[in-house]
Amino acid sequence: MNLAALNEIAEKMVTPGKGILAADESSGTIKKRFDAIGVESTETNRRDYRELLFRSTEAMQKYISGVILYEETLYQDAADGTPLVKLIAEAGAVPGIKVDKGTKPLPGFPGETITEGLDGLPERLAKDYERGARFAKWRAVIDIAAGIPTAGAVKANAHALARYARICQEAQIVPIVEPEVLMDGSHDIARCDEVTRFVLQTVFAELFEQRVALEGIVLKPNMVVCGKKCETRATIDECAHRTIAALKATVPSSVPGIAYLSGGQSDEEATAHLNAMNKIGGFPWKMTFSYGRALQAAPQKAWAGRPENVAAAQRAFTHRARMNALASLGKWEDSLETALAA
Distance, CA of 300 to CA of 293 (rounded, Å): 9
Residue 241 burial (C-beta neighbours within 10 Å; 0-12, 13-18, 19+) = middle
Pick from 221, 211, 208, 202: nearest CA to 155 = 202
Distance, CA of 78 to CA of 21 (rounded, Å): 18
Distance, CA of 291 to CA of 295 (rounded, Å): 6
Active-site residue, selected from the candidate residues 12, 98, 137, 220 = 220
Active-site residue, selected from the candidate residues 178, 180, 206, 286 = 178
The yes-or-no answer on residue 104 being catalytic is: no
The CA distances from residue 86 to 71, 174, 240, in Å, are 15, 19, 36
Which backbone phi and psi does 166 adopt, to 5 degrees?
A: -70, -40
Instruction: Please name the residues in contact with 258: beta carbons below 8 A apart, sequence gap of 6 or more.
Output: 14, 218, 219, 220, 221, 247, 251, 285, 286, 287, 288
The yes-or-no answer on residue 98 being catalytic is: no
Distance, CA of 170 to CA of 211 (rounded, Å): 11
Pick from 104, 93, 100, 144: nearest CA to 118 = 100
Q: Concatenated DSSP letters for 259-293?
A: EE--TT--HHHHHHHHHHHHHH---SSEEEEEESH
Residues designated as active site: 178, 220
